[in-house]
Amino acid sequence: MRILEAEGVTKNFGGVCANRDITFFIEEGEILGLIGPNGSGKTTLINCIGGNERPDKGSIKFEGRTIVGLRPYQICRLGISRTYQVVQPFAGMTVRENVVAGALFGRNPHQSMKTASRKAEEVLEMVHLQEKLEERAEDLTIVDLKRLELAKALVGEPKILLLDEVMAGLTPRETDDAMELTLKIRKSGITLFIVEHVMKAVMGISDRVMALHHGSLMATGTPQEIIKNERVIQAYLGEKFAKKMKRDKEDVP
Amino acid sequence: MREKMERKKILKIVLMLLILTLLGLLPFHLSGYWVRLFIHIFMYAILAESTNMLMGFAGYVPFGNVVFFGMGAYITAILMGKGIPFFAGILIGAAICFLFTLAIGHPILKMKGHYFAIATMGVSEAMKQIVTNLDITGGGSGLSLVPLSLPSVRDVYLFFYFLMFLILAITVLVTYFISKGRLGYALRAIKANEEGAKSIGINTPFFKMIAWALSAFFTGLTGGVFAYWMTYIDSPGVFDIVIAVKFIIMILVGGAGTVFGPLLGAFFIEFISELVWSKFLIFHLTILGSIIVLVIIFMPKGFIWFYQKRFTLVALLENVREGKV
């Protein structure tokens, strides 16, 4: 089933066309990757889905219901949660409180403080923050802030999770952990739409990958197809990288 | 660990009951002057605490919140002039303040920071002009109320003492429940990061509006009691921006966004200003100002913060060194 369908999404900022006539869908239960050079419109597309921006043209349907024009909190309540490229912690609140806030609202609001607190702890354990419950959000390292950002989105029990560059700035080891975590999230029944520059990650876990260039959709396909796609190689990946990627894939039995 | 927390909790409850009993017995042993001072302190404590609901938790500073004080006072005065009993009058006044906030809240709460503060000041000044120019409010000559008729002046003082005390207790309770509940989480999230709050499903305009309306309700209630206590009100007196400045300073000095901070702030500022005023008649503003500056330098997050740091001198000095002012 197609859980999210977008048709002809266009967004201009003055003379700059950030998204031009983008049509795509997300299949329920899949991991869809989104790649593209800086400024190709990835975050704008996420913003259009999340309600932070309103597309100038086009429609976005979630479970058959159009969501263009809804406010971010309404979209979150329908079951689309997101993380931000620049993390948005609630400074002055502890890690636990940050996530409890997410649990009290989100898709299943009106829970008691007790269940919200329990759920927050569960999710924090999942992202490996269980030992930092009482630390203040502003004292966390960037890795932990990204984990917290993920926990805040997850605890709202989304159907789709939009991840905007959660792996940027992580060490290889941390990236591996993040990939594992992403797969675990998918396994729990959440559909994922991930924007990512770390090729190892996005190619390694995505079922399908979309590539944007200058605001337009350049290619969609499985990771293998995208690596071979001439236009994607020219615009984004580069010859050397594509060859290396291909070699790595062939090396793996 | 758990046992320690339990003990701390019991200690807190005992302390609270002790303070309550003390304040309950106090007026019977004090002179009229001190009872009057306490009524003033309670009044400012209510104003500070109710403004704290929006300012402390959500980070929106409603500089013009005194407008509800004035509205509450005038509505009570007008209604009592029409023969409506006092308690009905203050409740209607407070309810109108609540609804008024809902009406103007949507556009004004779209502004942030200084813009919001100035907009609320505009509302306050505009209301003052309207009141000054209407017939029903007595225009520039103000309104007189039928005084409370009790056998002795002392009984009148006691009546207002316990009424303010009761309203203060309710305001503190409401603030406590806000701080522990969903509303508190929503407001603190808004204060920390409004964008982030929206994207975890918080209906930010709604929660800001509710917080402001609640603060308007209690401020209006207090205004009504004030009018009955003073038996005469005029527009420069009850829409005085200095009142707003005073309770905002109290919030900052005590600790914004905490349940007991604004109370401490109100007690401290009122006591100190009374003492300073009686001892140094000419210099009292200079001295009061200096004290406030010192408090802000050494305790930028208020008294409550100092309490959390266990009253250490090191913490005080660190603030100065780090220039956290």
pLDDT tens for each residue of A126-181: 998 989 989 999 899 988 999 999 999 999 999 999 999 888 888 888 889 889 99
Interface of A with B in 161-220 (CB under 8 A): none
Residues A236 and A169 in one domain: yes
Same domain assignment for residues A119 and A229: no
Averaged pLDDT, B2-16: 84
Q: Which residue of A has its CA nearest to B206?
A: A73
User: Do B204 and A82 lie within an 8 Å CB cutoff?
Assistant: no
> CB of B63 within 8 A of CB of B247?
no
Q: Give mean pLDDT, residues B41-51.
A: 96
User: Considering only residues 122 to 141 of chain A, which have any Cβ-Cβ distance to chain B shorter than 8 Å?
Assistant: 137
The pLDDT-based confidence of B118 (bands split at 50, 70, 90) is: very high
Last residue of a domain, which of A102, A128, A157?
Answer: A157
**Containing structural domain, residue A49:** 2-79+160-251
Model pLDDT, residue A249: 62
A90/B188 CB distance under 8 A: yes
Give the DSSP H or E segment for A5: strand A2-13
pLDDT of residue A233: 85
Contact A104 B195 (CB under 8 A): no
Residue B196 in contact with partner chain A when CB distance is under 8 A? yes
Mutate to test the interface with A, among B199, B258, B308 (most CBs of A within 10 A): B199
Interface test with B, best of A84, A105, A164 (most B CBs within 10 A): A105
- Asked whether residue A148 falls in the same domain as residue A208, the answer is no
pLDDT in tens, B159-185: 999 999 999 999 999 999 999 999 999
The answer on pLDDT for A252 being more than 70 is no
Q: Closest-CA residue in chain B for A90?
A: B192
We report the CATH number of the domain holding residue A18 as 3.40.50.300
Whether residue A111 has pLDDT greater than 80: no
Structural domains in chain A (count): 2
For residues A63 and A185, state if they share a domain: yes
Distance, in angstroms, between B179 CA and closest chain A CA? 12
Contact A88 B191 (CB under 8 A): no
Rounded to a whole number, what is the distance in Å from the CA of A136 to chain B's nearest CA?
A: 12
Facing residues of A19 across strands?
A11
A103 three-state secondary structure: helix
Q: How far is A91 from chain B (nearest CA, A)?
A: 5
State the average pLDDT for chain B: 91
| pLDDT given for residue B294 in this prediction | 87
Q: How far is CA A57 from CA A69, A229, B264, in A?
A: 11, 28, 55
Are residues A126 and A237 part of one domain?
no
Q: In this complex, do B200 and A76 lie within 8 Å of one another by their Cβ atoms?
A: yes
The pTM for the full model equals: 0.89
Nearest to residue B138, comparing CAs of B38, B236, B283?
Answer: B236
Residues of B in contact with A77 (CB under 8 A): 201
Residues A126 and A150 in one domain: yes
CB contact B193 to A (< 8 Å): yes
pLDDT digits (tens, 9 = 90+) for A236-249: 887 777 777 767 66
Name the residue in chain B with its Cα closest to that of A111: B182
Helix H or strand E encompassing A102: helix A95-104
User: Does residue A85 lie in a domain region?
Assistant: no
The packing angle between helices B86-108 and B66-81, to 10°, is 140
Whether residues A17 and A65 share a domain: the answer is yes
| Interface touch B188/A92, C-beta < 8 Å | yes
Interface mutation vs chain A, best among B110, B182, B200, B258, most A CBs within 10 Å: B200
pLDDT for residue A253 is more than 70: no
| Contact criterion met (CB below 8 Å) for B47 and B215 | no
A–B interface: beta-carbon pairs under 8 A: 80
Same domain, A67 and A127: no
Q: Which residues of B are less than 8 Å from A145 in CB distance?
A: none
**Which of the pair, A219 or B5, is modelled with greater confidence?**
A219
B231 has a pLDDT exceeding 90? yes
In whole angstroms, give the CA distance from residue B132 to residue B126. 10
* CA gap B186, B203 in Å, rounded: 8
The answer on A29 and A63 residing in a single domain is: yes
Q: Which of B189, B195, B203 sits opposite A101 (nearest CB)?
A: B189
* pLDDT score of B277: 84
Q: Which amino acid is at A184?
A: K
Integer Cα distance of A171 and B267 in angstroms? 53
Do A106 and A121 lie in one domain? The reply is: yes
Q: Is A81 on the interface with B (CB under 8 A)?
A: yes
B20 and chain A in contact, CB less than 8 A: no
Determine whether the interchain pair B196/A109 forms a contact, defined as Cβ–Cβ distance below 8 Å: no
pLDDT score of A95 more than 90: yes
Contact status of A16 with chain B (Cβ, < 8 Å): no
SS3 category, A30? coil
User: A214 and A137 in one domain?
Assistant: no
Q: Of the ranges A91-95, A135-139, A141-145, B94-98, which is most confident?
A: B94-98
Closest residue by Cα to residue B167 from B284, B325, B50, B82:
B50
Q: Do B191 and A153 touch (CB under 8 A)?
A: no
Q: Which residue of A has its CA nearest to B186?
A: A101
pLDDT grade for A82, boundaries at 50, 70 and 90: very high
A91 with B196: Cβ contact below 8 A:
no
pLDDT on residue B325: 43
Whether B93 has a pLDDT exceeding 90, the answer reads yes
SS (H, E, C) chain B: CHHHHHHHHHHHHHHHHHHHHHHHHHHHCCCHHHHHHHHHHHHHHHHHHHHHHHHHHHCCCCCCCHHHHHHHHHHHHHHHHCCCCHHHHHHHHHHHHHHHHHHHHHHHCCCCHHHHHHHHHHHHHHHHHHHHHCCCCCHHHCEECCCCCCCCHHHHHHHHHHHHHHHHHHHHHHHHHHHHCHHHHHHHHHHHCHHHHHHCCCCHHHHHHHHHHHHHHHHHHHHHHHHHHHCEECHHHHCCHHHHHHHHHHHHHHCCCCCCHHHHHHHHHHHHHHHHHHHCCCCHHHHHHHHHHHHHHHCCCCHHHHHHCCCCHHHHHHHHHHCCC
Looking at A116, A141, A157, the residue that finishes a domain is A157
Look at residues A157, A181, A199 and tell me which one is the last residue of a structural domain: A157
- ipTM here: 0.87
Tell me, yes or no, whether A172 and A50 share the same domain: yes
CB contact under 8 A, B200 and A77: no
Taking CB atoms and an 8 Å limit, are B199 and A50 in contact across chains? yes
- Is A84 among the domain residues? no
For residue B203, what are the CA distances in angstroms to A14, A91, B144, B187, B197? Answer: 29, 19, 43, 10, 8
